[in-house]
Chain A
């Protein structure tokens, strides 16, 4: 009952001409900025903040939240069309999205991404509305041991991200883990692998690695293989139509990952990027046909796209109920609230119910706007692929550089980008998968820190990892995820042998 009246109140806040306009402006700006490789929601919100000054706090947050989920919505576009992730949350989108586009199904891939994003966004807003106050305690229930176990579970999936050689996947992952250790060690303040360069003190930004390994490496391959039709000069983006069978295929992942994404989004340590990877991996693991992942499987596209948008709404739970930023982007939103005179914190719901319920209500509207905006635009956006190859490749390189430079304003990072482009290209030549590297990088850093934080708190006792039920469950799942494939393959081999014997006799 309460929820309904609160929601009505929220819609009352949103459904004024002014606020509807702000939702629209927010999602439009967000989705356009998100489409550009490298420019993520943080930059997008930064651009919008000056506009919000002097605005009513609810309107300001409505606008900026719109930019945020708009950017996550739009971020899939460049992942799919150019293999250049628009934001870190859409790296996993490129795994199957780009192969689809390569096969001349860019239109369909974009449509699936839009629909998954819409579904993930909407389902998670409903969840946000219904359970936000209840989820608040869940958000802080994860401490160092829980995060360690969660990241470990993610890492155990690395073998499943490989095409072919598991050994190569593990080597690639190891390199990712090594890169994650670069910088000042957070727990001791010791410099690791910085070689005395102040530029490396804070480690390497995720985006540099992602754009280098994916976008630049792809560009290199395209330059060398002139026959390839992809990226430019392509006259076929395919139809937007999704067949009944395809709709049925993606309904499962959408349902699953709306929930998973939301839950991971609520956890302050996880967020959209980890959620999208976890969803991709989960979907691949439970798939009957895992070998088709990475080659243009629509489930592999729908899963991360649903998940990253669901996680975006989830990230509003700690923000709105506790005043704790769950991610870099929500931290910026927190700052934006300060500017308009709202002190973010646990009392926001009582002090500023218009902000709380207004933002939630605006997200329903925003998601509808995004779908309506994006679907008709797809044929036009996909025309990017008609741009002559030489021109398009140059554009991709320029955008990657702008994206990287725009984050750090450091030329050093541009050289790093180049270095990772070359590494990515070499890895392709010798058939090393890049996905395990990026996954290990993103999970590894946090896993290490959580592990050591846990041990500091427990005075070095490993028993701390068995104190919490959540940790134990996650650890058991990790062990299963690691061993089950081996057991399975052994069993099936045995079966085959038995069958052979059977036939022979």
Chain B
């Protein structure tokens, strides 16, 4: 359950060092955001609402390091872990703390967890500051699977939705599950009877390789190496455009297979609800500046992330839209609370 998260724990810590090691890179945009308006008056607390490990933690630490190293913000930005409840503990901490000096890293669970009834706080209880990166889901089958394309799989699902078992590392009604549900619904499958197995100890890939399940819905990074080794076939990735790069460019998108759907595993930054408009504008600009630095680009490529900057407003609109989509899907599969 915590494995996938902890996988990345090292990343963040490592990245911490990365950055300090590359101290020579010149600061590019030290005073871009002050300009006499609002600027932080004390160290900023960056919350990763998960334990050391995990994508949230990696992202939080990478952002904070690049910010500090490149002097994007001249105050310290300290990362604190507030794990628990799939993010709920961290969110409630940020909510109580309030003010202009607390930020947190977030991603689709801020939509899924409240929709699943596991948190009273959702994205509307916070101030979206900026979208930062995007990742995608990949639907994989064993190398010897009878399914060679997403359409083969969709055909089988249309015939008998209970004939295919899908495994994912997250809980039912969360990312791995809903990414798949959303895609096959777009292809016209009756999603009410889909079989989803949750393997929160991170055993999804081993179940797939052992031929215990038919499909593994997972993140792109997990699928790529196995596909390169010929152990699995990637039936589809959920990116809007074909991906660039060795191996990943061979993965067909849903759209290329005639299924009009995409699923973005986005990550962004939010602040407390009562954050002032000036502070919000300051941080939005800071994130934008940070993403221009070479240090950020090096980090991003190292982790295989894709830039996906959204301004606070765009971010808010995107989240509202996503929430609506997911809510109706969850209702349809009977998981909405």
Contacts and interface: CB of A to CB of B under 8 A. Distances in A.
Contacts of A338: 7-8, 10-11, 303
Nearest to B83: A408
A238 interface: no
Given A324-B205, A453-B199, A347 B228 contact: yes
B187 interface: no
B229 A408 contact: no
A290 interface: no
Given A341-B302, A408-B51, A50 B17 contact: yes
B210 interface: yes
Contacts of B200: 186, 449
Contacts of B196: 456
A187 B210 contact: no
Interface stretch (A134-142, A364-372, A479-487): A134-142
A198 B92 contact: yes
Contact of B201 (A52, A198, A269): A269
Interface residues of B, number: 65
Contacts of A408: 51, 83-84
B246 to A, nearest CB: 11
A338 B6 CA distance: 13
A140 B2 CA distance: 20
A53 interface: yes
Identify which of A42, A189, A410 gathers the most chain B CB atoms within 10 Å of its CB. A189
Contacts of A53: 14, 17-18, 21
Contacts of A324: 205-206, 209
A95 B34 CA distance: 62
Nearest to B209: A140
A269 B204 CA distance: 11
B16 to A, nearest CB: 6
Contacts of A340: 14
Contacts of B206: 139-140, 142, 268, 318, 322, 324
Nearest to B201: A269
Given A318-B206, A457-B212, A49 B13 contact: yes
Interface in B1-54: 1-4, 6-11, 13-18, 21, 51-53
B61 to A, nearest CB: 11
A50 B197 CA distance: 36
B82 interface: yes
A474 interface: no
A491 to B, nearest CB: 41
Contact of B212 (A49, A54, A143, A201): A143
Interface in B36-87: 51-53, 80-86
A142 B229 CA distance: 21
Given A189-B171, A269-B201, A346-B231, A331 B6 contact: yes
Interface string A393-425: 000000000000001111000000000000000
B14 A328 contact: no
Contacts of B201: 268-269, 446, 449
Contacts of A323: 225-226
B279 to A, nearest CB: 26
Contacts, number: 184
Contacts of A157: none
A332 B6 contact: yes
* Residue among B4, B119, B198 with the highest chain A CB neighbour number at 10 A: B198
B165 A457 contact: yes
Nearest to B172: A189
B10 A335 contact: yes
A332 B6 CA distance: 6
A15 interface: no
B9 A332 contact: yes
B210 A322 contact: no
Interface string A128-160: 000000000001111110000000000000000
Contacts of B8: 335, 338
Contacts of A46: 9-10, 13, 52
A334 B7 contact: yes
A269 B10 contact: no
Nearest to A197: B85
B173 interface: yes
Contact of A202 (B86, B173, B198): B86
30 contacts: A46-B10, A50-B14, A52-B14, A54-B18, A143-B207, A144-B197, A184-B86, A186-B1, A186-B198, A187-B172, A189-B172, A198-B92, A198-B119, A201-B86, A202-B1, A202-B83, A268-B201, A268-B202, A268-B206, A269-B201, A322-B209, A323-B225, A324-B206, A339-B14, A343-B224, A345-B229, A408-B83, A409-B81, A446-B201, A457-B213
In the A-B complex, the 5 residue pairs with the smallest Cβ-Cβ separation, listed nearest first, are A345-B225, A339-B14, A143-B212, A335-B10, A140-B210
Given A52-B14, A323-B226, A343-B224, 10 more contacts: A144-B212, A184-B86, A186-B200, A189-B174, A269-B201, A323-B225, A325-B202, A409-B80, A449-B201, A453-B198
